[in-house]
Amino acid sequence: MEEVTYQGMTFEPYIRREEIAKQVHRLAQEIKRDYANENPLFLCVLNGSFIFAADLFRACGLHDAEIAFIRFKSYEGTQSTGKVKEIMGLDIDVTGRNVLIVEDIIDSGITAAQLRKELDKQNPKSVKMVSLLFKPEALTVGKAPEYVGFEIPCKFILGYGLDIDELARNLPDIYVLKEG
Ligand code: IMP
Ligand code: MG
């Protein structure tokens, strides 16, 4: 794996596809066990989580699982704007459902907190969250996801669905911004 360049910045290899696959598999086992007799609704938060959600949803192999999509945007370049824009709303009713929010990464927690608040208005039976990546030191609002693939420090990363200004989502591995 080699370094990659986007927007004049250099990124170095950080998490290989084999390691990602291993954690996706582990998370799928836990979710499969916890939702075995349920009809869970996976709620994929676009755009970043589309690749993770596709891999996780298949790996869970739950007979009665459903998936829906919602779209939020909070990042510009390598920085959070501190505000969350809802670009595409939820078009289904989650009343009485077991909702599993699928996120690529939890950073400040603002997106997740806003989404949980919106879902709660519809009285779902349960709301839990799975995030491939979690930056615990960056969390300012809400709580840690119930299921986490990797805990990472406060560094900007991309690949496997994560972007820099909409680019780099198609990289099969995850890269980190090189410092210095
Ligand atoms: P939060 O609302 O601050 O928790 O940020 C959530 C969203 O910001 C994530 O779902 C990502 O789309 C984006 N994000 C946060 N950290 C990164 C990163 O390191 N690289 C790329 N996108 C990120
Ligand atoms: Mg996201």
Half-sphere exposure of 43 (CA within 13 A, CB side): 25
Cα 107 to ligand 1 centre (Å): 5
Q: Give the CATH number of domain 17-155.
A: 3.40.50.2020
- Residues 55, 112, 78, 52: what is their CA dihedral angle, to the nearest 10 degrees? 0
Q: Give the pLDDT confidence of 29-56 residue by residue, as tens digits.
A: 999 999 998 999 999 999 999 999 999 9
Residue of 91, 104, 107, 165 marked active site: 107
Cα 65 to ligand 1 centre (Å): 26
Q: Does 107 participate in catalysis according to the annotation?
A: yes
pLDDT band at 179 (very low <50, low <70, confident <90, very high): confident
- Mean pLDDT calculated for residue range 46-67: 96
Residue 86 pLDDT exceeds 80: no
- Mean pLDDT calculated for residue range 91-118: 93
pLDDT band at 84 (very low <50, low <70, confident <90, very high): confident
Strands (E), the chain: 4-6, 9-15, 41-46, 66-76, 79-88, 98-106, 126-134, 147-151, 157-158, 174-177
Domain ranges of the chain: 17-155
From the CA of 47, the nearest ligand is 2
